[in-house]
Structure 1
Amino acid sequence: MTGYVLNEKPARRRVALAAAGVVMFAGTGQPAAAAVRGDPPSPITSVTVSAPSPFASCADPVMVRNTEFEPWVTTRPGDPGRVAVAWQQDRSTTGAARGGIVVATSADGGTTWRGSALGGITKCSGGPFTSTSNPAVSYARDGRLFAVAMAMSFGQSTAILALRSDDEATWSAPVALTQDPSPAYFNDRPSVTADPRDPLRAYTVWNRNRAADNQHELMFSRTTDGGGSWEPARAIYQPAEKGAGTVGNQIAVLPDGTLVDLFYEGDFPVSGPPNPNIPTRVRAIRSADGGRTWSEPVTVTTTEVNDPKLPGVERPVSARGLIPDIAVDRRTGALYAVWGDATMASSRSSIGLSASFDGGRRWSPPVRVDRSPDSPPGGDGQAFLPQVDVGDDGTVAVIYHDFRRNTPEPGTPTDVWMLTCRRGQCPRGAWRERHLAGPFDIEKAATWSGAPFLGTSVGLAHTRAGFQAALVLTNDTPDNPQDIHVVRTPSR
């Protein structure tokens, strides 16, 4: 597929489509976050990393071109310059990306970027599937880059695909970790985690449902040879209740090698009626032997998922809190989990946090951490799309969106904020907030089921220099409604 190089310029970002020998401009992008009272005096920079779609010539009548969604960011352990971001490109009006998956990489800490499309997935990228979704990437310590994504052909099959890159520019052919007939099965929302202790190991988890008996399974596969091969996928957890399923699975690797998988569990009926008696929970399971055996789940919190609305009009925003996030302090092994919560604030959309200091066996009582103002349900005080990470110096960071600067004028100004606290002071308090990005008008985003859609998650990672947040920000141009931006900020 065609690659591109994105160079940060003082005014405009210049995008070179190297394979085509064409030079074009991607626009001015989003400026660095404006100063807000209370911001620490630290530099915050923003770079647009997405470019005009590499799938623009693909003839697909339901593809919305130049739309980018759901970024996932990763950094290379021990190398402050290496950053990678993956996203869905050219989403359809009915869900999932019709174009494909694009990965952009930086070797200088996020100043300049080079992008490549993953080949062999969708028909637009030379593969067999009609659409793809939920990309995730993870760096191994030796620089190898792992990627996974869900792919589907409606009414035919769904698959979880794994790829690898040894040079951050070219990619292996996709390997199907599983491929099942549809609608008998549905595979959804994979993630991949490279083992920071062993560059040849990586772990992938996802949810699979079976229509025949309305049953869900949490699936797992791993590679021990750097992605050359993957072990056969197998179920490592099956909820007891019919219709109960998991989503947002993500593995964190503790300093001693223990794997901790965090996920949301709730009612996702496949072939039966909804069951209001199934609790909605954020849960975790552990493996002390590299994924061979797993513990029973531990409940982090029992809660109600937030479902944000556009203030004043009660129109949905497609940003429900179904995807929790987990991060680990690599020096102490402390774990932090965040999620979107409907029970902690009068707005019914806030950010919850819990911590574990014993390897995920026990979790602290959930606390609300966002600083969004109080408001009635569906008001300006709604916070959503949280992510958490822990810097090399032990600083814990949480990012989220909210509507606190909304006005009566048309449109819905939306901002992105970061909270930070020092090791030992979380989750009890001592959080400091800074403004990362915005305001941007979320109503200008492309839609999914009629609702503005940035993705079910965004991205947050760190290098020794600070944190890197991968965000979706909207534009004022209808033919390019939104772009992927990486915002860099020091940890203090």
Structure 2
Amino acid sequence: MNIVGEYQQDRWSDGGARGLVASVTHDGGTTWSRVIVPGLTRCSGGAYDRASDPWLSFASNGDLYAISLSFDFFDSHNAIIVSKSTDGGDSWSAPKELTADNTDGLDKESITADPINPNVVYAVWDRLIGPGGSTHASGQGALHAKSYKSQTFFTKTTDGGQTWSTPQQIYTDSSFSGSIGSIIRVLPDGTLLDGLVTYGNAAWKGGKCSSISVLRSTDGGSSWSQKPTIVSPLSCTYAGAHDPDTGAPVRSGGLLDIATDGSKVFVVWEDAVAPAPTTGRILFSQSTDGGVSWSSPAVISKTPTGVDAFIPTIAVNASHTIGVSYYDFRNNTPGGSADTDAWLVRCTGACTVPASWTETHLAGSFDLHQAPDAGGEFLGDYQGMTTSGDAFQPFFIQAVTAPSNPTDAYFATVP
């Protein structure tokens, strides 16, 4: 079984990394090789200083697409770049720029191969415009900088990545509003859903504190719903997890993850709920009508009272079981290392009921104090997870030993 995970190599504390690396297995995770994705930075033979925000998607014919952000540190030039592999990640094409400008504001891109037509691939990203452009901050940083206007762009290819449509802005022209963290999912009837976080002064835009939202296209991305469907407003009191010993911020919150199972759609995110307005919980909502209507949010993390849970990732296995991975600090001993564990919760039915979810320990404890500080203790703005039959297979980051080896990428199979 061919599995590929991509991550930042040699992360800078003030944004981006020296390059992006793909870890590749062709035997289901028993052995791995590491491949530098070429042409993204000067260190990998490209023209840009740094790269960030890697995202992967396999097409149904085995072609693999990678999207990432490249940018310069000493000027404002940046680009959204796509690379393609036809041998399962062992080698990569020359990079292709989908867009490039001098805003220093491109951010949080993702890529999704169409599950039916292997030649069709969709890409989305944000462009933050405002005083000083973007510093490629965390999702929370962008959402709370309300002087920004954040635009959402979409493009697609119908010829396997040889050419791409002219990028079109699909959400918001107005100031003090916008979105971040778009992820495209495709329903069985071809409808495209863009799961994202929206915000704005008007409630229909997501409100001043932002909302988990969905945009919808029924014509392959040529046109999109003018108003987002609000899944759930976000609280105004939660600003991400915090180190349980020092109180220092953990870079988390502000982004969602989304998965589909036929016409059912599932979304997870991190937020606080009453009566603990500053403590992170993992929330879940589902739609059984293709994203038109949504259930009330349910807390599905099993984290004890007063302890943050953060950075959820969702997938659905072959038996229609939903799995969600996340981190928390429940095993922390006060005054020492920031003991952090990874967990997987699963649900087979009645998933809007918190008691329907069961939990498995995934990894840890590890010391989050060893992680790089990049606008907060940093494991990544998001993690990865795939499935094989009924097994869930998270691809995730753990902190190791600072400063020589602050984080490593890990893979697990959970039957």
TM-score (norm 1): 0.76
Please provide the CA RMSD for this pair.
1.9
* Matched residues, number: 389
Corresponding position of 1:455: 380
- Matched to 2:305, the amino acid is D
- Structure-1 residue corresponding to 2:176: 243
Q: Residue 341 of structure 2 contacts residue 366 of structure 2 at CA under 8 Å; is this kept in 1?
A: yes
Would the aligned equivalents of 2:103 and 2:129 in 1 still touch at CA under 8 Å?
no
Distance 1:109 1:306 in 2: 37
Deviation at 1:115, TM superposition (A): 2.1
Aligned counterpart, 1:174 = 95
Matched residue, 2:167: 233
**3-state SS in 2 of match to 1:443:** helix
- Note the C-alpha offset of 1:246: 1.3
**In 2, are the aligned partners of 1:252 and 1:327 still within 8 Å (CA)?**
yes
Q: Which residue of 1 aligns with 2:269?
A: 339
1:361 aligns with 2:320: no
Following superposition, the deviation at residue 245 of structure 1 comes to 2.3
1:180 partner amino acid: D
Taking the TM superposition and a 5 Å limit, the aligned residue runs for 1:301-312 are 301-304=232-235, 305-312=238-245
**Partner of 1:91 in structure 2?**
11
Q: Counterpart amino acid of 1:360?
A: G
CA shift digits 1:416-447 (9 cap, x unpaired): 1111010x321224111110000111111122
The CA deviation at 1:259 is: 1.0
Give the structure 1 partner of residue 211 of structure 2.
Answer: 281
* Deviations 1:338-363 (CA, angstroms, capped at 9, x unpaired): 11102256252111110011111111
- SS of equivalent to 1:266: strand
The reply to whether residue 486 of structure 1 matches residue 411 of structure 2 is yes
- Report Cα offsets for 1:88-139 as digits up to 9, x if no partner: 1111121111x21111222221111222111111111111111111000000
Report the counterpart of residue 348 of structure 1 in structure 2: 279
The structure whose Rg is larger is 1
Specify the alignment match of 2:391 in structure 1.
Answer: 466
Structure-2 change in CA distance of 1:365 and 1:174 (3 Å):
same
Which aligned segments of 4 or more residues in structure 1 are displaced greater than 6 angstroms? none
Q: Work out the CA distance in 2 between the residues paired with 1:225 and 1:345.
A: 52
Instruction: Report if aligned partners of 2:171, 2:178 keep a CA contact under 8 Å in 1.
Output: no
Q: Work out the CA distance in 1 between the residues paired with 2:335 and 2:366.
A: 14
| Residues 151, 344 of structure 1: alpha-carbon distance in 2 compared, 3 angstrom cutoff | farther
Report 1 or 2 for greater relative contact order, CA contacts < 8 Å, sequence distance ≥ 6. Answer: 1
C-alpha distance in structure 2 between counterparts of 1:243 and 1:180, whole Å:
21
Contact 1:344 1:368 in 2 (8 A): no
CA contact (8 A) 2:207 2:233 kept: no
Cα distance in 1, alignment partners of residues 281 and 239 from structure 2: 7
- Equivalent-residue separation in structure 1 for 2:310 and 2:239 (angstroms): 8
Inter-CA distance 203–263: structure 2 relative to 1 (3 Å threshold):
same
Residues 345, 434 of structure 1: alpha-carbon distance in 2 compared, 3 angstrom cutoff = farther
Task: Provide the residue aligned with 2:142 in structure 1.
Answer: none
Q: Measure the CA separation in 1 of the matches of 2:148 and 2:301.
A: 36
Identity, % of aligned positions: 36
Q: Establish whether residue 259 from structure 1 lines up as the match of residue 192 from structure 2.
A: yes
Moved more, 166-175 or 353-362: 166-175
Listed one character per residue, the Cα deviations across residues 261-294 of structure 1 (whole Å, up to 9, x for unaligned) are: 10112369xxxxxxx9724111101111211111
Q: How does 1:14-413 map to 2 (within 5 A)?
A: 81-97=1-17, 99-154=18-73, 155-167=75-87, 168-183=89-104, 186-211=105-130, 214-238=148-172, 240=174, 242-266=175-199, 278-295=208-225, 296-304=227-235, 305-319=238-252, 321-329=253-261, 332-344=262-274, 346=276, 348-375=279-306, 381-413=307-339
After superposition, the Cα gap between the structure-2 partners of 1:425 and 1:323, relative to the gap in structure 1 and judged at 3 Å, is same
**Residue in 2 that maps onto 1:427:** 352
1:119-173 Cα offsets, whole Å, 9 max, x none, are 1111111111111110000000111000000111132311100111111212111
Residues 303, 343 of structure 1: 8 Å contact kept: no
TM-score of the superposed pair, with normalisation by structure 2: 0.90
- Unmatched segments (≥5 aa) in structure 2: 132-146
Deviation at 1:388, TM superposition (A): 1.0
1:476: Cα distance to partner? Answer: 3.8
Q: Contact 1:197–1:257 (CA<8 Å) still a contact in 2?
A: no
